A = this chain, B = another copy of it.
């Protein structure tokens, strides 16, 4: 279970230190083996523990081939997916292609969202957070009790 958001820095080699709290979860869940891919709706990266990725992969593959939006989602998720591991110091090295997709600069934001993580450029994260959710509120949200 991943929660919280963490400001992290990317060093000159493109390495980023995974916060300890997140790292612990990753190690016990999947021995530090992750899959990073592109988010379909927002300019950020999705980070899955390998075990969770393998669970959702079939449902992405099963999408109808004749639907344009479905093909787009498949190309983004499966086509960008890249397996990677924590190094000896608990850091990950995100490939340049994915870095470009999320426009990752030096200052990043890692956010735990339950079973997955999102990796944002810090500025983009802040902007996204301040933007009002102007979509129609779905039924589930209107009745949400917090």
Contact B113 A78 (CB under 8 A): yes
| Majority DSSP secondary structure for residues of A touching B | mixed
Binds B, one of A9-17, A26-34, A66-74: A66-74
Q: How many copies, total?
A: 2
Contact A79 B140 (CB under 8 A): no
A104 at the interface (CB under 8 A from B): no
Please count how many residues in chain A sit with their CB below 8 Å of the partner chain's CB atoms.
Answer: 60
**Please, which residues of chain B bring their CB within 8 A of the CB of A46?**
146
Contact B133 A69 (CB under 8 A): yes
Contact B111 A69 (CB under 8 A): no
Q: Check A56/B113 contact, CB under 8 A, given A68-B41, A135-B69.
A: no
- CB-CB nearest in chain B for A68: B135
- Closest Cβ of chain B to A34, distance in Å, is 13
Complex CA gap A71/B41 in Å reads 10
Complex CA gap A4/B40 in Å reads 15
| Residue in contact with A82 in the complex, picked from B3, B134, B136, CB distance below 8 Å | B3
Contact B135 A79 (CB under 8 A): no
Q: Check A4/B67 contact, CB under 8 A, given A59-B144, A73-B141.
A: no
Complex CA gap A68/B132 in Å reads 10
Complex CA gap A118/B138 in Å reads 25
Interface residues of A in 1-54 (CB under 8 A from B): 3-7, 35, 37, 40-42, 46
